[in-house]
Amino acid sequence: MPHQPIKQTCYIGLTQWQHSAWQASILQRPSSEHILKAYSRHFSSVEGNSTFYGLPNEATVETWVNEADPAFRFCFKFPQQITHKNHLKSSDEDTAAFLKRLEPLHAQLGLLCIQLPSTFDDNNLHALSDYLQNLPNAFNYGVEVRNPCFFSKGAAETALNQLLVAHNVSRISFDTRALFNDPSDDPISSKAKAHKPQLPVHAIATSTYPMVRFITPLNWTLGTDYLTPWINKAIQWMDEGRSPFFFFHTPDNADAPELAAYFVQQIEQKRPGSCLFTPWPTVKKQSTLF
């Protein structure tokens, strides 16, 4: 059966567990310590994007089992062969292989995420319905849609939401408003805008485990106004008995840990003990030569 939290809490994570910019902060560790162990000492979840491109080998999965904190939750993405190339059709073997490979992590899995391409519209909802119907109920799932028809507040969106509620599957929200409303046109920001979807945000919980992905401009402090409503939403969801997952991005992710820490600080002021998160020591910079 899917894991159940002891109480309603908020899982906090990033889009990856290693980055060269984090070596002096969240990834400070002895040379013998695995980088995932260092990351999971502070964060309670991570977006596992690597599985979108290919399955990890068995030894790698076993390493993840041993190195991550037992309370840590991986949120892996379904392979692109299933979601983007097959549009969820004729994918029984690929799905079985994906789930079997991750089975050793069962107790440490959060949501398994089905990210659908922008070409997947309401004409394909029957394929999503069939696919969800056939997934084993031993895991928790989330679906991220990117076709505008699912954001129109019309029949297509209603049908999608009802389908997800019926299967207790999360409708994943990807909030890119702060990024696209920032006029910066530097190469890093421009690349992020070229690869991220620009869609409305509908903050709806269709499962016990809502998931939110949030990205700011390169200067993350320019995006905090867009983050404030999510603080209140997270508290509302927890008060309803849900345990949300929040993942934080910046265009190059260098400052993503600081963005996440800010969110935790704000939410903890209103609802202490809400977030599964441990701050890291502040790195002191030398002010003089001697």
Strands 275-276, 173-175: parallel, antiparallel or unpaired by DSSP? unpaired
Does this model's pTM top 0.75? My answer is: yes
Query: Strands (DSSP E) along the chain, which ranges?
Result: 10-14, 45-48, 73-76, 111-115, 140-144, 170-171, 173-175, 211-215, 245-249, 275-276
* Residues near 236 by beta carbon (within 8 Å), at least 6 away in sequence: none
Closest CA to 178 of 108, 259, 68, 61: 259
pLDDT tens for the chain, residues 1 to 290: 454 444 679 999 999 999 999 999 999 999 889 999 999 999 999 999 999 999 999 999 999 999 998 999 999 999 999 999 999 999 999 999 999 999 999 999 999 999 999 999 999 999 999 999 999 999 999 999 999 999 999 999 999 999 999 999 999 999 999 999 999 999 999 999 999 999 999 999 999 999 999 999 999 999 999 999 999 999 999 999 999 999 999 999 999 999 999 999 999 999 999 999 999 987 554 445 54
Distance, CA of 18 to CA of 39 (rounded, Å): 8
pLDDT at site 135: 97
pLDDT at site 282: 73
pLDDT at site 7: 64
pLDDT at site 8: 79
pLDDT at site 6: 45
The topology (CATH level 3) of 10-276 is TIM Barrel (3.20.20)
Domain ranges of the chain: 10-276
